[in-house]
Structure 1
Amino acid sequence: MLMSTEAVETALTKIASPAEFQRSGHQAIFEAIRHLYDHGIPVDQVSVADRLEATDGLERIGGKDYLIDVGMAVPTPAHAAHYAEIVSRTALLRQLIDAGTAIVELGFDAPDDASEAIEQAERLLFDVTGRRISGAFQPLLPLLEEGFLRLEELAERQEHVTGVATGFHKLDSLLSGFQKGNLIIIGARPSVGKTALALNMAVNAALLGNPVAIFSLEMSSDELVQRVICSEGRINLQHLRTGHLKDTDWTSINSALSRLSKCDIQVDDTPATTILEIRTKARRLLKDRPGGMIIVDYLQLMQPTTRRVENRQAEVAEISRGLKILAKELEVPIVCLSQLSRGVESRGGRPRLSDLRESGAIEQDADVVIFIHRDVYGRSEDDDGGEDRKYPPLGEAELIVAKNRNGPTDTVHVAYIPENTKFVDLARDPR
């Protein structure tokens, strides 16, 4: 860096801060070089020495002689990128050692709340990975070539679904499936069918060979299993819960279990989980399972990673942003269920983006927002059936795609069988 401006530019793209150097003298030299470069001043041994002298740092590093020795230690600036990567990698390993030492101390301190200690440990590791420098610029030409190859592949396959299929044909046609790196929000008021729809999508995707991870913060794994069997076997949920089953029900259950045994679905029913916990578990789970999908039920039950958040809106914003970042990092779609505010019921009619509860950040972070709109209380029977009716007919539901970052929005009409907690495609389109 003391020998070439090009070397300075290369190093600054790979070394995030002076702290990545272990010796305090090298930290001071790097800070001086960065200051000179930021102010458009040529970087060489003379200008760096002047800057260090102006900040009373020259003598602390060993004077001008030490600067000369540092410059002479590098045979050529041509390998600046390689040397900078060594500095960055070594710094990351030191940070990992520091985090490991702190985690060991946490264990020896014997805290009363072990879960709080685990959360602190996860936060320390997350901070280490968070300090890594983001990727450098990529030239446009190879990106164009890669994009063209992708277009050729899509043209050859002639498929409408390029992501994870939900099993709802009109919805898949509209969205081309759930795309990797996307955050999909499914919103509705309580008892409208958020969990039912998410489980239907999970099973449909898994039957097509996609691994699915479900984080259920509200229902236990036993309750989820009951719902999945009920939905796939078309068994009355109340009969399943009470054990009042007919011989034909047992036949349907066995058939459903045979199909479900082929599904790679993993369930975690830990309550009040955090983004850090989901990130750790999901990375471990998906390590040997390329592709797939993550479902979180539901957003408002998650806890923030930090306890220093000012209010609930800020907490939800942190969680929402964390889910979007996680989707991009793992390169999978994350489907997160969300409650809607009571304004939907007081206003009547169809939900809208402003009804997302507790934070406008959910709307901002989501790539796709889907609302479930159906009649829960028999109100559709009082509608005149005209174009302005507030609710779809009983037995039907609307999946309102209110936001689609990369495509059109529309409403998909589906059938809903409440006793089976089952959403299915309508045989006809009511429009």
Structure 2
Amino acid sequence: MEITSFTPPNSKEAEESVIGSIFLDPSILPDVIEEVRWEDFYYENNKIIFKVMEELFDKGEPVDTVSVIEKLRESNLLQKIGGEDTIIYLAQVVPTTANVMYYTQIVKEKALLRALINASSEIVDAVRNIGDAQEVLEYAEKRIFSIAEARATRTYDLLSNVMHDVFEQIEELKNRAQKGEGDLVTGVSTGFKSLDRMTSGFHRSELIIIAARPSMGKTSFAANIATNMALQSNIAVAIFSLEMSKEQLANRILCSEAKVDLHKVRTGQISDEEWEKLVQKAGELSKSRLIFDDEPDLTPRMLRAKARRMKREYGIEVIFIDYLQLMTSRSKGYESRQQEITEISRSLKLLARELNITVVALSQLSRAVEQREDKRPRLSDLRESGAIEQDADLVMFLYRDSYYKRKKDESGKDSLNDEHEAELILGKQRNGPVGTIKLTFNPKLATFYAADRGYQ
């Protein structure tokens, strides 16, 4: 069904009032241009006139009735819009500019509604012509997002306004310090005190990378932090798992919290006491706002759509992605995988900024680590793209020396299953120090904890 049976949303009065206000006071034009473009006007005369205003503004020329009439005459458009009488009429249509931004918002809203109607019509055509549901979904998502991204938003502010907000934050921290509130965490606590001391928690709008070679415990460490945040800080946290199913991830988190051997749970060989622990922790976890998504073919576009929905429905503050190199853009325009990873990395940083959330992405390290005598990771080991390092606000590496020096004990059992030391290396921190934090890893429980205390 083609959408042609009704007049698209518009407001002739609002369009004329915007143009008339500019004629009355040209100094308001920059504010108006920030919100609407000539394409946003519905009526052809208004489109032409506002476009001329934009062109005069871009050239630094006066924007008034005389200059607009002259520009229209030069372009052979004056008669098309009804001659000088039209300009004179518009210049007198409003008595004041007091409500110009209100009129501007009406024009903007009507243009958005028309764009959505056009998009819906194109999506219907796509259903007819493409047929494949997944391709139509991608097309529809792209079409809607292109409309959303085209809407201008104010991203600048006076330093005086910014400084006011910054000073309020500093004052709050100072007061908390004077009250002796201990280690100050200005972001979301990770549940690891030593990490919080160095980072003051995970902060909004930041992209954080947790990188390691395979089998170092990236997923376990990320799950530990995510669970700590959900349970201790009572916030909504999303985990996008491209490698494990929701059930596998939930099983791992449950065993970690209940301190029950993961292998025992998998085989069903658990005692009554362990069963009670599992039941208790399952109840606690069920009350949390941990959200799992196990889409294995996750694209940046899909991630953005899902994250937006989760932000709206649950108010998520942190998302984890396990792991970055498993994502794909599905675009065929990239010359190399490195270029694709660069775009994916950038999209994660933009997502953090757009939704004002923390994005934590796990990342594989290149095999170059294995060729060195000292196998502790470096920033240069970030696999496939140096852009990951550039985009990230915080880069952390997990390293376990025992992984490379594991030996069989007398019974032939792999000692790698025992508790052992781990290092969390902060290789980059945009707003803080770098250094190494000592941890202990218990692989049976898929759990990391502070090295200076026993597991409790």
Above 0.5 in TM-score? Answer: yes
Question: What pairs with 1:20-169 in structure 2 (closer than 5 Å)?
Answer: 20-107=40-127, 109=128, 111-135=130-154, 137-158=156-177, 159=181, 160-169=184-193
Give deviations 1:240-290, integer Å, cap 9, x for gaps.
222233344324323432432332211111111122222222222232544
The yes-or-no answer on 1:205 pairing with 2:229 is yes
SS of the residue 1:358 aligns to = coil
Residue 376 to residue 126, structure 1, CA distance change in 2 (3 Å): farther
Give deviations 1:286-319, integer Å, cap 9, x for gaps.
3254453111111111122644334322222222
Residue 82 to residue 259, structure 1, CA distance change in 2 (3 Å): closer
Superposition deviation, residue 322 in structure 1: 1.6
SS of the residue 1:287 aligns to = helix
Return 76-85 or 259-268, whichever deviates more: 76-85
Question: What pairs with 1:23-422 in structure 2 (closer than 5 Å)?
Answer: 23-107=43-127, 109=128, 111-135=130-154, 137-158=156-177, 159=181, 160-208=184-232, 209-290=234-315, 292-304=317-329, 306-348=331-373, 349-375=375-401, 377-379=403-405, 395-422=420-447
Superposition deviation, residue 147 in structure 1: 2.7
CA distance in 2, matches of 1:305, 1:55: 44
Query: Unpaired segments of 5 or more residues in structure 2?
Result: 1-21, 408-417
Return 40-49 or 254-263, whichever deviates more: 254-263
CA distance in 1, matches of 2:41, 2:364: 47
CA distance in 1, matches of 2:437, 2:155: 41
Residue 72 to residue 136, structure 1, CA distance change in 2 (3 Å): farther
SS of the residue 1:403 aligns to = strand
Give deviations 1:359-391, integer Å, cap 9, x for gaps.
22211211111111113534278xxxxxxxxxx
CA distance in 1, matches of 2:313, 2:385: 35
Length, aligned pairs only: 416
Superposition deviation, residue 5 in structure 1: 2.4
> Residue 402 of structure 2 contacts residue 421 of structure 2 at CA under 8 Å; is this kept in 1?
no
Superposition deviation, residue 418 in structure 1: 1.5
Superposition deviation, residue 114 in structure 1: 0.9
Per the alignment, residue 387 of structure 1 pairs with: none
Please, what TM-score do these two structures have when normalized by structure 1?
0.89
SS of the residue 1:296 aligns to = strand
Residue 80 to residue 341, structure 1, CA distance change in 2 (3 Å): same
Query: Unpaired segments of 5 or more residues in structure 1?
Result: 382-392
Please, what TM-score do these two structures have when normalized by structure 2?
0.85
